[in-house]
Structure 1
Amino acid sequence: MSKSFLLTTILLCVVGIMTHAQQVPYRGSKHYNRRMKQFEQEGVLPDNAIIMLGDSHSEYGGDWNRHFPDAPMIFNRGIVGDDSRGIQNRLNQVLTCNPSKIFFECGTNDLSHGWSVERSFQGIIKVIETIRSHCPQTKLYVQSLLPLNDKVGVWKLLKGKEDMIVQLNGKLKEYCDHHSLPFIDLYTPLLNVKTNRMQPEYCRDGLHLTDKGYAIWANIIRRLMDE
């Protein structure tokens, strides 16, 4: 067997492995797949819809229309446990309707999965750039990660990662400022600056919001809904 033939064979094998790796489908959690099926059953979104896109923070917001009775129909496209990979995988369900506005939040689960701040940041930026590329007319609002409160409840995979949340928020704000994107700070209004934790009345389990917390969120974005 000649060296050139051996080299060619090895190269073809490497290319085949890389191609196969690129074609591996995204595998979401059971809840992710149930939500995806639910979205499919609801049918194609109407043109110019307003989308709340993100993870559990968005999903647990429930019917966002209750906060904005005068706004056009708002569609909740949050999925508990989702990260930037999962959101990237399902963007086709959202972008085909050419949304008028997308309120996007992501990153907490990326950090909980053991990703570094930089890897989490790059995953979020990929989603942002895909939205901007496919729907340049859509008004995209990038929302910050929320604070934690370990006195109300401790999430094992997020324990000790408060500083990482702050760092990731900083990188997202810097990116948005540089690219003329609206960055919505949800972190500071929910924070008790004396304890450096989320205000307990806004936090039901150490991570997720109470109704009062969602009211704060809604008030922050109210004027943007009316733009």
Structure 2
Amino acid sequence: MGDRRLSAPNSAVSTPPEASRWRRAPRWAWWSILGNAGLLGLLAWTLGQATPPPARGPATPSAAQPSKASTLTSPPPSPELGPRHQLSYEQWVGLLGREARAIAAQPPKHLNILLGDSLSLWFPSELLPTETTWLNQGISGETSGGLLNRLDLMDQTDPEVIFVMIGINDLIRGVSNEAIAANYRGMIRYLVWAHPDSRIVVQSVLPHSGPKATWEGRDRLLAIPLEQIQDLNESLAAIARDEGAQYLNLYPLFADETGYLHHDFTTDGLHLNRNGYLVWRSALQLYSQIKP
């Protein structure tokens, strides 16, 4: 799984043997974003909902340092959520810490960081936008509380952009929108403090496929109304605006005409397939052009 975690241009470590195979993927997913003026306009509109983060001075430890653990409201993640893997949660955290320290010791240019759960973890490294080094800090089954509690792993890194997507596993576990929002506010405050020169980008929680889902926890997905996800995303957009971060609304790009996750973008109604990651990749590329 190491090749999914750290991606750098022209690096043997980060370019798996199948790195060129994405070009043979169905091009309709790419052109559905880049070639359709309506979707481009939609993406530009979603990006325009956030205000740019204010200028921030250098971070210096003080009594005002945000506490990561103060809003921890959910239990530690378990491997039952998302794709199963061989490592325990604690082992994954240890692995991420080592990778973050390694990249901090030899800082690359144009470092971007992905923070999240299995959706971020399984982003194919060869599909991530090029000309950028990507540090993937996703963990399968991660929750907003778990992510909040491990942000200090990246304290010594110097990223240009930190992308955050988390929350679906909280909803699956029955965590309230209010608790998730509180964890998000704690995360953004900490990241703004620890990385004053970085852009912090909150990405919306994606829809699920509802009755069409085949994921083993389908009943738990059905218990999450789409309105709850949309309400949560509205809260996340407001938190990003209030705390000096940016908001990237991916939800409309993944939803079908009924609001559920489009079947062409998912493997099981919860996780993304290659087409889904092509859409996400296109959104990230457009984001970098619209929000320099």
> What residue in structure 2 maps to residue 147 of structure 1?
207
Structure 1 residues not aligned, in runs of 5+: 1-21
Aligned position for 1:32:
89
1:17-65 Cα offsets, whole Å, 9 max, x none, are: xxxxx9xxx85546422322322443432346210111111001131x5
1:192 to 2:256 alignment: yes
Aligned to 2:163: 103
TM-score (norm 1): 0.80
SS in 2 for 1:216: helix
| From 254, 277, 286, the counterpart of 1:214 | 277
Correspondence for 2:128 among 45, 54, 67: 67
Quickly say closer, same or farther: Cα 1:37–1:176, change in 2 above 3 A.
Answer: closer
Unmatched runs of 5 consecutive residues or more in structure 2: 1-69, 79-86
| Higher relative helix content | 1
Larger Rg: 1
Match of 2:240 among 176, 189, 207: 176
1:89 aligns with 2:149: yes
CA contact (8 A) 1:62 1:76 kept: no
Q: Is residue 157 of structure 1 aligned with residue 220 of structure 2?
A: yes
In structure 2, the CA distance between the partners of 1:225 and 1:77, relative to structure 1 (3 Å rule), is: farther
Q: Are the equivalent residues in 1 in contact too, given 2:97–2:154 (CA < 8 A)?
A: no
1:76 corresponds, among 130, 136, 139, to: 136
Partner of 2:103: 45
C-alpha distance in 2 between matches for 1:95 and 1:217: 26
| CA distance, structure 2, for counterparts of residue 119 and residue 152 of structure 1 | 26
Query: Is the alpha carbon distance of 1:165 and 1:49 closer, same or farther for their aligned partners in structure 2, counting shifts above 3 Å?
Result: same
- Establish whether residue 112 from structure 1 lines up as the match of residue 176 from structure 2: no
* Cα 1:112/1:27, change in 2 over 3 Å: closer
- Alignment RMSD, CA only? 2.1
1:137 partner SS: coil
Task: Output the CA distance in 2 between the equivalents of 1:158 and 1:94.
Answer: 32
The one-letter amino acid of 1:133's match is W
Output the CA distance in 2 between the equivalents of 1:186 and 1:105.
10
Residues 127-138 of structure 1: pairs in structure 2 closer than 5 A: 127-138=187-198
Greater Cα shift, 137-146 or 92-101: 92-101
Partner of 1:166: 230
Q: Extract structure 1 runs of 4+ deviating beyond 4 A.
A: none
Q: Which has the higher contact order (CA 8 A, sep 6+)?
A: 2
Going from structure 1 to structure 2, the CA distance change for 1:177 and 1:89 (only over 3 Å counts) comes to closer
Could you tell me the percent identity over the aligned residues?
26
> Which amino acid is 2:267 matched to?
R
Structure 1 position 67, deviation (Å): 3.0
Asked whether the 8 Å contact 2:188–2:240 carries over to 1, the reply is: no
2: CA distance between counterparts of 1:109 and 1:28?
A: 8
Q: Taking structure 2 as the reference length, what is the TM-score of the superposition?
A: 0.63
